[in-house]
Structure formats: structure tokens, C-alpha cells
Structure 1
Amino acid sequence: MTTPSGHTEAIAATRVIGTSVYNTEGDSIGSVEDVMLDKMSNGIMFAVIGFGGFLGMGEKYHAIPWASLDYDPEKGGYVVPFTKDQLKAAPAYSIKELTGADGEAARDASFEYYHIKPYWH
């Protein structure tokens, strides 16, 4: 089955991790470092997007609601409907913070910040 934009519904996590992510202006903003799974609802909580840093030093991680990523085959990456300024001001975390409290703190802050309807409601 395909999504409204013509993509398949299923994808292996290994194909997602490492994929470039672009903002609405077409600028590369980072890449998918990981995906956080909600074991209780069998859904994806959020994509972990790495922004900046060099060789793992100073890297900031953002929890981006999975539903906001749209794959663009021409770019070979995901596009998020957020501006550069929105992304710069977004909550940033360490990997430990992203997974703390079962990921719920980062998830909740992310969905609230980006004004995405929570999938768990």
C-alpha cells in the first residue's frame, strides 16, 4: 500500500538512518541519526535528527515528529516543513536526554513546539 504522496507505508529503519534532512528552503539541516519507537503503541515516537557538530563533538539532536518528515526522491532525503529559524530555536538534546523518561519528555516537547497533533491522543 502507498501513502498519499505515493510512498510505500513500510521502510526498514536501516534505510532511514543516515538519510539527509532538508528544511523548507531546501537547505541540508542534518541527517536521521536514529528513530525512537513507542513500544506501547507500536508507532514511531520521533526521528532523531543530528544538527551540526564535528566527529560527534558538539552535535545537537532534535526530536522531530515522524509524521512531519516527507521523503523527496529528487533530493534523496527527507524534507521537514520548518524554516531555518524554527529549527534553530527548537529544543535540542543529548542522546541520553532523548531516551530519558522513555523518550516522553523529548517527544512531548517536540510535538508541542512544532504544533503537531500528538499521535497518542
Structure 2
Amino acid sequence: MASEVTKITSGSLIAAEKVEGTDVYNPQGDKLGSVDDIMIDKVSGKAIYAIMSFGGFLGIGEKYHPLPWSTLKYDESKGGYIVNLDKKMLENAPTYDINEEFMWTPDYGRRVDKYYNAPSYW
């Protein structure tokens, strides 16, 4: 029953499972990657980061890029998110490898926020 409810979207609400796989574009319309996951604050329930997969071919060389949620704007006409950055900026951004054992820390979060000049969650 609950899975049926999350298939319905209304207004500005969307189920997390529908956000996963959504494409991310820059303002010029170039596809940068897609949302692989969402990091949500346990207390407030607000989305804090979108984890975008970028690069690689068939999963080889693919990296995960945490993007502060505040940097994403939904574009209904594209059916995806727009983020004001280019591929060059992504190449130098904080990332972690798809096969890496990764531990999220407040220091890492602050580094991500600073890189994108976003208000820090931490």
C-alpha cells in the first residue's frame, strides 16, 4: 500500500525513488549526470545533498559527486535538475569512487559546501 502512495506525485512533492535516476543538466542544456541518491537530514527530513553519478562508461571510472541540494533547481520542461556548473568544475569537485568504501564526515560535507559556495549544513 505505501509503495502505491509514493508513485503519486502532487504539486512540489515527489517520492525519493522517483528522484533517483533523474538527469542533471547545466544551464546550457548539457547533461552532466544523474541523481543516484539523496542524503536527507534525519531530524528535519530535508534533502541536504543529491549524489550525482558522473563520468565513466558502463560503470567503469564513474564517480559520485555530492551536490548541495540548494544548488539544484527543477526544470519541468527538461524533466530534470539544472545546476549552475560545467563539466570542468565537476572534474575538480569533491568526489568519491563508485568502488570506494566511503565515510561521510562533517569535514567532508563542509568541503563540498565550500566548493559549491553553498550555505553549509554543518
Q: TM-score by structure 2 length?
A: 0.79
Contact kept? 1:36, 1:48, Cα under 8 Å: yes
User: Which of 46, 50, 53 is equivalent to 2:49?
Assistant: 46
Larger CA Rg, structure 1 vs 2: 2
User: Which of 35, 58, 82 is equivalent to 1:55?
Assistant: 58
Secondary structure of the residue aligned to 2:70 is helix
Q: CA RMSD in A?
A: 1.8
Secondary structure of the residue aligned to 1:24 is coil
Provide the residue aligned with 2:77 in structure 1: 74
Structure 1: 5+ residue stretches without partners: 1-6
Structure 2: 5+ residue stretches without partners: 1-10
Q: Which runs of 4+ in 1 moved over 6 A?
A: none
C-alpha separation between the residues in 1 aligned to 2:107 and 2:20? Answer: 22
Q: Do the aligned partners of residues 106 and 94 (structure 1) sit closer, same or farther apart at CA in structure 2, a change above 3 Å counting?
A: farther
User: Which of 31, 35, 60 is equivalent to 1:32?
Assistant: 35
Return the structure number with greater helix share.
Answer: 1
Secondary structure of the residue aligned to 2:96 is coil
Contact kept? 2:48, 2:70, Cα under 8 Å: no
**Percent of pairs with identical residues:** 46
Provide the residue aligned with 1:3 in structure 2: none
Q: Do the aligned partners of residues 83 and 55 (structure 1) sit closer, same or farther apart at CA in structure 2, a change above 3 Å counting?
A: closer
C-alpha displacement of 1:54: 2.1
C-alpha separation between the residues in 1 aligned to 2:106 and 2:47? Answer: 12
C-alpha displacement of 1:87: 1.8
Q: TM-score by structure 1 length?
A: 0.79
Q: Does 1:65 align with 2:58?
A: no
Alignment of 1:1-121 (within 5 A): 8=12, 10-95=13-98, 96-97=101-102, 100-101=103-104, 103-120=105-122
